[in-house]
Amino acid sequence: MDGITPAQSSAVRSLLDTKYSNEYDLTGGGADNTLTLTMKPTAVSALEEKTVQQAIETIRDRVDSLGVSEPVIQEYGLGKDQILVELPASPIWTRSRTSSRHGAP
């Protein structure tokens, strides 16, 4: 954060430290009155995990709306930003894949 007046520096630092100290490290506040918030590694990991879970939920909702029976939708590999989607073979999916590759009739 830039543009903090010397009179506001202490109050702003205290507010940021109180509200965000669990997720962010607060540095700076020297003569130039510049403060820097840096996300802690634990907060980054939690955010990444939440993002993958939300993506899995979105994919599952879309696949379920198509009426697919027994799809596999889960984290893949080490669970680091990869999602495995396995759909059972069916005539509907074969037609769907063909249509998507060659354009709809």
Give the residue from 67, 56, 72, 74 showing the smallest Cα distance to 93. 67
Q: One-letter amino acid identity for 17?
A: D
What per-residue confidence (pLDDT) applies to 5? 77
Task: Name the pLDDT band for 105 (thresholds 50, 70, 90).
Answer: very low
What does the block give as tokens for 84? 């495995």
Is the pTM for the entire model greater than 0.75? no
Q: How, if at all, do strands 83-86 and 24-28 pair?
A: unpaired
Supply the pLDDT for residue 90. 66
Question: Does residue 104 carry a pLDDT above 70?
Answer: no
Tell me the pLDDT band of 47, cut-offs 50, 70 and 90.
very high
CA distance 3 to 77: 45
Tell whether the model's pLDDT for residue 92 goes beyond 70: no
